[in-house]
């Protein structure tokens, strides 16, 4: 089955700096890679996703890159704000199942 690894587990950045979270996956058949943001007491919410036929996608301050050859994908948040503080999960879809990373707790220091 698919195995998704995520790093780092915790990340602290100063407000205005960039944050990068990286994930690797093992199943070359995985074709869809969403990123979720989970705030305290809430369920994960999709913030951006990328399909296997695309190398990069951007939505305002958030971008995701995908390297299919190396089987890794990354989340980039620029100009971080305190409200970006949350736990972020990467995931890979293989078949009908979603496989999640272990999460990154991001703290943006004002």
Binding residues for another protein (CB under 8 A)? 31-32, 34, 36, 42-46, 49, 51, 89, 91, 93, 96-100, 102-103
Q: Which residue, 6 or 80, is less far from another protein as judged by CB?
A: 6
Phi, psi torsion values for 44, nearest 5 degrees: -60, 140
Q: Which residue, 46 or 109, is less far from another protein as judged by CB?
A: 46
38: left (phi over 0), alpha (psi -120 to 50) or beta: beta
Q: Closest approach of Cβ 15 to another protein, in Å?
A: 27
CA distances, 42 to each of 55, 71, 101 (Å): 30, 30, 18
Q: Closest approach of Cβ 47 to another protein, in Å?
A: 10
């Amino acid at each position: 089955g698919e195995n998704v690894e995520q790093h780092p587990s915790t990340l602290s950045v100063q407000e205005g700096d960039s944050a990068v979270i990286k994930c690797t996956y093992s199943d070359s058949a995985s074709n869809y890679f969403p990123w979720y943001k989970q705030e305290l007491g809430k369920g994960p919410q999709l913030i951006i996703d990328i399909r296997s036929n695309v190398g990069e996608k951007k939505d305002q301050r958030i971008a995701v890159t995908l390297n299919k050859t190396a089987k890794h994908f990354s989340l980039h948040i620029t100009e971080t704000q305190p409200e970006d503080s949350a736990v972020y999960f990467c995931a890979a879809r293989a078949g009908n199942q979603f496989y999640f990373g272990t999460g990154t707790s991001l703290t943006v220091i004002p």
